[in-house]
Structure 1
Amino acid sequence: MAKFLIQAGYTSEGTKGLLAEGASGRRAAVEQVVGGLGGTVEAMYFAFGEDDLVCVIDFPDPVSMAAVALHVKASGALRTRATPLLTVEEIDEAARRQVGFRPPGA
């Protein structure tokens, strides 16, 4: 599974929708969308400040995350940021791989 940190801020129209259906209504909507693509919601928190919503979501693949991101952004109700999350073991594996990189000017 591919894990993502989602940070989102509601637009004024999105906030009106949140006020109308409540946080539990939005959680149900998120779980339905994510579950429909074979994923799960690990955590979902509402916040205030720059972000109104923070989630940790598992998807079977990055394409599923991209599909959700495209549709959510197209709605105009939220601005979102998705950050791929890697385990300690995945970073250990990445560190062991040989990469033929040459820095500029070297």
Structure 2
Amino acid sequence: MSFYMFKGRYSTDALRALVDTPQDREAAAGAMIESMGGKLHHLFFCFGDDDVMALIEAPDDDTMAACALVVGASGTMSGGSTIKLMTSKEAMKAMEAAGKGRAAYQAVGS
């Protein structure tokens, strides 16, 4: 399973609804993600450009894309993005592969 960080911005209508009637969005998101074979590890509300950030574990990119599409199609978000995360072990594997591939790469200006 892979890890992903979903960042999202609620629409004005969704924010108004949350203020009028506070709701546990972590439970709602977790149920949907679990129904698709994934796991919601954390959902954080935050300040700044985004309103929420979620750490999600999903079996593959297709599953994570489907989860993001469900949320996007609901109309409650005005924007968002998904970032695929790598463990240190996965990053080390990529670094080793890059070391092997370096000989075949010609840098700009060389």
TM-score by length of 2: 0.83
Deviation at 1:13, TM superposition (A): 2.0
Question: Who is 2:105 aligned against?
Answer: 101
Instruction: State the Cα deviation string for residues 37-66 of structure 1 (Å, max 9, x = none).
Output: 111111111112211111100001111111
Alignment gaps of 5+ in structure 2: none
The residue aligned with 2:22 is: 22
Max Rg structure = 2
- Following superposition, the deviation at residue 105 of structure 1 comes to 4.2
5+ residue gaps, structure 1: none
Query: RMSD over aligned Cα, in angstroms?
Result: 1.7
Which residue of the partner structure matches residue 39 of structure 1?
Answer: 38
Show the counterpart of 1:11: 11
* 1:84 partner letter: K
Aligned residue number for residue 72 of structure 2: 73
Instruction: Provide closer, same or farther for how the CA distance between residues 29 and 20 of structure 1 changes in structure 2, counting only shifts above 3 A.
Output: farther
Deviation at 1:3, TM superposition (A): 0.3
- Scaled by the length of structure 1, the TM-score of the pair is 0.86
Q: Relative to 1, partners in 2 of residues 1:23 and 1:46: Cα closer, same or farther, differing over 3 Å?
A: farther
- When structure 1 is superposed on structure 2, of 3-12 and 95-104 the one drifting more is 95-104
User: In structure 2, the residue corresponding to 1:22 is in which secondary structure?
Assistant: coil
Distance 2:96 2:17 in 1: 47
What SS does structure 1 have at the residue aligned with 2:40?
strand
**Deviation beyond 3 Å, 4+ runs, structure 1:** none
